[in-house]
Amino acid sequence: MTEALVDTSLVRAEGISAGYGRDPVIEDVSLDVLPGQFVALVGPNGSGKSTLLNVLLGALQPRAGSVRLFGEVPDRFHARWRLGYVPQRPSLESEVPATVREIVASGRLAQGRWWRSPTRADRDAVEHAIESVGLADMASTPLNELSGGQRQRTFIARAFATEPDLVILDEPIAGVDAASQQRFRDALVHLIAEHGAGVLLVSHELTPVADDLDRVIVLRRGVVFDGPPAELAASGVSLGVHRQDLPSWLEELR
């Protein structure tokens, strides 16, 4: 008897169709992210990227197809510490006086050991995450005293602090300066190289990570491209700055 192949995907979607009204926003979408892979998801505004993320994270049930997050149906997945998620606009009440360090440390609670005192490993992971996004000199600063970009970097650090197996980031560096973008890139590369994590990055700005990507997935209701960035570069496609939308080559991909 032939043994069944073991699915090693961190997240896998097969034939997904989903939407919010009568008409689907995405149709027949399939993708996966393996351990150690750095995958970018791009597409024009309105292409269905946010809808797809909601399905992958279990916030929206697909009309057709299947999704597995670490081999489980997303809304039944409980080992949340294995997933580091940074939404496009993370929010926290401005009145909360929590510091950068306290916000980042809260990410360690996702491992389900909130009742015990932090260990040396916890403290080291928190400090490393803060350093990785360039906020070491602001670790004791209250969140409500930070700029929008600094707050975003704080939430990125909180995701990193869990030492996750999979990181999903939705436009994480919008409004972040070039130096911070480089630190962000270095942190992701470290997470992949040293911890074997997989990364799914949704972004209009791929310049900081263009040379590090394993795959680029282009979404326009369905997947119109899924392959190495070199294939796009060979056809004259730039993965650089596109502040409002991705360029016209996306309109030509079918």
Percent of the chain at pLDDT exceeding 90? 41
pLDDT 10s digits, 68-108: 999 999 988 888 889 999 887 666 555 567 999 999 998 88
| pLDDT (mean) for 27-43 | 95
Residue 15 amino acid letter: G
- How much is the pLDDT for 127? 93
**pLDDT, the chain, mean:** 83
Predicted confidence at residue 177, as pLDDT, reads 73
* Across 31-40, 65-74, 135-144, 166-175, least confident range: 166-175
What whole-number distance in Å separates Cα of residue 96 and Cα of residue 112?
23
What value does the mean pLDDT take over residues 130-152?
87
Give the mean pLDDT of 216-245: 77
Q: What is the pLDDT of residue 87?
A: 86
Mean pLDDT along residues 132-149: 88
pLDDT cut 70: percent of the chain above it: 83
pTM: 0.85
In the chain the domains, ranked by start, together with CATH numbers, are 11-252 (3.40.50.300)
Specify the pairing of strand 11-18 against strand 64-69: antiparallel
| pLDDT for residue 52 | 96
Helix (H) or strand (E) holding 51: helix 49-56
* Per-residue pLDDT at 24 exceeds 80: yes
Please give the residue that has the higher pLDDT: either 148 or 190: 190
168 contacts 84 by C-beta, under 8 angstroms = yes
* Res 119: pLDDT: 85
> What was the pLDDT predicted at 245?
45
Question: What would the pLDDT profile of 210-222 be if each residue is shown by its tens digit?
Answer: 889 999 999 999 9
Give the helix ranges, DSSP H, for 86-177.
100-106, 120-132, 148-161
The pLDDT value given to residue 96: 63
**C-alpha distances in Å from residue 16, one per residue of 60, 91, 150, 246:** 11, 29, 35, 23
Instruction: Considering only residues 191 and 241, tell me which one the structure prediction assigns the higher pLDDT.
Output: 191
